[in-house]
Amino acid sequence: MLKPIAAHPATAALQKDVSKAGVQKLQKACTEFESILITYMLKSMRSTVEKDGLFGNSTESQIMDAMFDENLALGIAKGGGIGLAKILFADLKDR
């Protein structure tokens, strides 16, 4: 009768490192997805406000607003965000 082949201890450690890296990548992806959602929320909120003042509604001001919203959303998501990244991570980590 054949006996099952035992895995080498280094193989088990390598699998643990790979799964750890996968978990970190999943966490980063969930945070980035939350950041994208927050960016769209900020963009929608900004569209409800009238454009006036020093820069008005020029192309340059629209670019600056978009860049600001993206950076703000990334900061919000990395700082804990609205909880979407945690929910996504909890749901996807076991798959």
Label residue 56 by pLDDT band (50, 70, 90): confident
Q: Is residue 13 part of a domain?
A: no
Contact in structure between 39 and 77 (CB atoms under 8 Å) = no
Taking the C-alpha atoms of residue 77 and residue 32, their distance in angstroms, rounded to an integer, is: 7
Residue 51: give the domain boundaries. 27-92
Tell me: the pLDDT tens digits for 68-89? 999 999 999 989 889 999 999 9
Instruction: Note whether residue 9 is domain-resident.
Output: no
- Whether 73 contacts 38, CB under 8 Å: yes
Look at the chain and report how many structural domains it folds into. 1
| pTM, 2 dp | 0.72
Mean pLDDT of the chain: 83
Residue 57 main-chain phi, psi, to 5 deg: -120, 45
- Please spell the DSSP secondary structure of 28-67, one letter per residue: HHHHHHHHHHHHHHHHHHHTTS---SSSTT-HHHHHHHHH
